[in-house]
Amino acid sequence: MIAASRCPACGRVAAPPRDRCQGCRARTDDETLDPEGTVLTYTSGAEGWIALVELAGGARTWVQAPSEPTIGERLSVDA
Amino acid sequence: MVAIRGSGLTSLGREPDPSSLVRAAVDRALSDAGLDVDAIDALVVANAAGEAFTSIGNVSVWTATEAGLAGTPAIRVDTGPSSGLAAVSTARGWLGAPGIDNVLVLGWEAMTSVPTEEATEILAGLMAADEREAGLSLPRLVACLTRAYLDRHDRSLAELDRVAHKAHRLAEANPIAQFGEVTLDEIAASRVVADPLRLMHCAPLTDGAAALVVADEGPVEIASMGAASDHLAYTQRRTPPERFQATQDAAEACFASTETERSDVDVVELHDAFVSLEAINLEDLGFVPDGEGLDHVAEPEADALGPSPAVNPSGGLKARGHPVGATGLAQTVECVDQCLDRAANPVADAGTALVHSIGGFGNNVHVALLEARP
């Protein structure tokens, strides 16, 4: 599992966690998320590939990938 | 009414001396307005990164001095690459204050005096720090947006090549443009910058300046404006990854305060720092349905401006050039020229034009609607 935050006011989930909600500025609660998410899009990085991955609750994060991913593929933050 | 009384633009390309850029733009705008410099009551300077690209500090006063306006109140506006249009918005608000009848809006950027890698690093300052640390750059972020768009709407990279080809063909006929015509083969064979974007899909580094005199009367009215921003980081957004919400919001705000409708617009100068943005922006501005932008902007015929509204007849940021702090004004000058039937690639009977400018990755978007006055 990975560390995240959830806003009790608007439900926004963020990873890495934020003290204050980036949507409505309310104080957030701690949350943990499955590290596996869905590739929304990707490009080439200095080495390998870098993918924008959507986790549970809508949190988005960048994941480095050694080989070219595909949109919609499941990818783990720990990869 | 708030209007553009005169406008002027330098040649765009490689002329990294800010003094000569500023003087040329001021002279052209004042001459076009039929005014002497003494008639200017206030100055709004648009400049995104003068301190980093040059050694100039206190950009507002430095620019006022070079423009022959020492002693005149001067404000510098920086919203990154949309600074020029944000400066128009500032001038619009300032106009009408006691003693402020003619506001000079002057944008400049001198980008070619530093190596390309350094320029890329300076522009990366527009991004969220954690995304820079994750290995992203502005071209990589736009590459992600572009891939999501092509995938979502089942469009091809070859269509993006045709947008670039069209931009360069139009720039060929524009005497102030940085570039001329290139072949489709040259575009398709250019190096990959950030997959799937190639070098010839990206706007260049450009030196240039542009200026407007904003007053309560003039031949082209600033009928309406709108602006919006978004989360700095791409990861903080919750909108579809192929869309710029700030463009949608800025366009809605602009059209909400006027009776003019999108179908009345003859010309659009939009922010095509990367060719995919020509299609995506046209959709986010609400001119065509999602996924159909490329049908509109990927050249239909060799000499056509395409269907109405004509999009980036100047050659756009892509081929006319992209001096970041001046770009919003360069776009505005093109739209003024279209409304006054004096543009290099004239759009027949153009009387209404829309300017769209982005300050960062889908951020700080400004939109302006211009209308010719009889």
Q: pLDDT tens digits for B232-259?
A: 999 999 999 999 999 999 999 999 999 9
A25 Cβ neighbours under 8 A, 6+ residues apart? none
Q: Is B76 domain-assigned?
A: yes
Q: Taking a C-beta distance cutoff of 8 angstroms, is the pair B167, B275 a contact?
A: yes
Model confidence at B56: pLDDT above 50: yes
Using beta carbons and an 8 Å cutoff, which residues of B are at the interface with A?
Answer: 131, 134-136, 140, 143-145, 147-148, 151, 192, 194-197, 231, 234-238, 241-242
Beta bridge partners of A6: A13, A29
- Residue B84: which CATH number? 3.40.47.10
Q: Is B244 domain-assigned?
A: no
Q: Does domain A2-76 have CATH number 2.60.40?
A: no
Q: Take residue B26 and report the two structure tokens written for it.
A: 């001021």
| Pairwise CB contact (< 8 Å): B136 & A40 | no
Range of the domain at B90: 3-114+206-214
| Pairwise CB contact (< 8 Å): B135 & A60 | no
B48 Cβ neighbours under 8 A, 6+ residues apart? B78, B79, B80, B81, B83, B109, B324, B325, B359
**What value does the mean pLDDT take over residues B264-293?**
98
Q: Would you call B151 helix, strand, or coil by DSSP?
A: helix
Proportion of chain B above pLDDT 70, given as a percent: 99
Number of folded domains that form chain B:
1
Beta bridge partners of B75: B44
> pTM of the full predicted structure?
0.97
Beta bridge partners of B310: B267
Model confidence at A79: pLDDT above 80: no
Q: Taking a C-beta distance cutoff of 8 angstroms, is the pair A8, A38 a contact?
A: no
Q: pLDDT tens digits for A21-46?
A: 999 999 999 999 999 999 999 999 98
Q: Taking a C-beta distance cutoff of 8 angstroms, is the pair A41, B144 a contact?
A: yes
Under the banding of pLDDT at 50, 70 and 90, the label for residue B16 is confident
Q: What is the pLDDT of residue B330?
A: 98
Q: Is B77 domain-assigned?
A: yes
Q: Where are the domains of chain A?
A: 2-76
Residue B296 CB neighbour total at 10 angstroms: 21
Q: What is the pLDDT of residue B374?
A: 80
Model confidence at B142: pLDDT above 80: yes
